[in-house]
Amino acid sequence: MENKNETPLKKVCLICAKGSIEDVYATLVMGNGAVMEGIETKIFFTFFGLDAITKKQMKKLHTSTLGNPAMRMPGGLPFPSILGMLPGVEAGVSAMMKKQMEALDMPPVDEFLDMITAGGGEIYACKLAVEMFKLKKEDFNENVKDIITIGDFYGMCGGENTQVIFT
């Protein structure tokens, strides 16, 4: 039931700090959904989340099989974490997940970034993490608007009816 007294969300600021398929796509799906709803959208990638916007890594994302209690095998049985240590298992699970996403017509990361920025969303890289990993602006996808500090990002996220989401 809709509450008529609620003020609609005007701005969403997403922070992606992890580089697994499931974490990156959660950020991209939420960001794209916000753009499609006409909500001002800013996305900040930090630490391993930078893999999603780095040209060399964005097509090599994988899922984490170790220590993932939500991981299930076909049929719904729990995925034994110990299997994730075996050579090739993580690559196989990641390939299977990518194939399932493809079957759902989910775009690859670079296309998602294109869609978000085409809709007015903004993509940023974390200055601290960029320096830590010795990256440069040219290492990133062309949709990355700037390399900024978290303080700069929070400054952009001010205002009424703003939601900050950490994925």
98 and 37 part of one domain: no
Question: pLDDT tens digit string along 6-25?
Answer: 778 899 999 999 998 989 99
As a whole number of angstroms, the distance between CA 27 and CA 44 comes to 10
**Residue 142 has what DSSP assignment?**
T
Are 54 and 117 contained in the same domain? Answer: yes
- The mean pLDDT of 26-34, rounded to a whole number, is 96
Instruction: Indicate whether 5 belongs to any domain.
Output: no
pLDDT of residue 3: 56
Is residue 84 located within the same domain as residue 71?
A: yes
Q: For the chain, what is the domain count?
A: 2
- Do 75 and 152 fall into the same domain? no
Residue 34 domain-assigned (yes or no): yes
The pLDDT of residue 84 is: 67
Q: What is the pLDDT of residues 120-157, one digit of tens each?
A: 999 999 999 999 999 999 999 999 999 999 999 999 99
Whether residue 1 is contained in a domain is answered as: no
Position with higher pLDDT, 87 vs 119: 119
Residue 135 belongs to domain spanning: 11-59+109-166
Contact 40, 11 (CB under 8 A): yes
**Quick one: pLDDT at residue 146?**
98
* Exposure string over 70-97, b if 16+ CB within 10 A, otherwise e: ebeeeeeeebeeeebeeeeebeebbeeb
pLDDT of 1 higher than 60: no
Question: Which residues fall within 8 angstroms of residue 133, CB to CB, at 6 or more apart?
Answer: 50
Are 19 and 49 contacting, i.e. CB atoms less than 8 angstroms apart?
Answer: yes
- Residue 125 is predicted with a pLDDT of 98
Give the model confidence (pLDDT) of 43-98 as tens digits: 999 999 999 999 999 999 888 766 666 677 777 777 766 676 667 777 777 777 77
Kindly state whether residue 2 falls inside one of the protein's structural domains: no
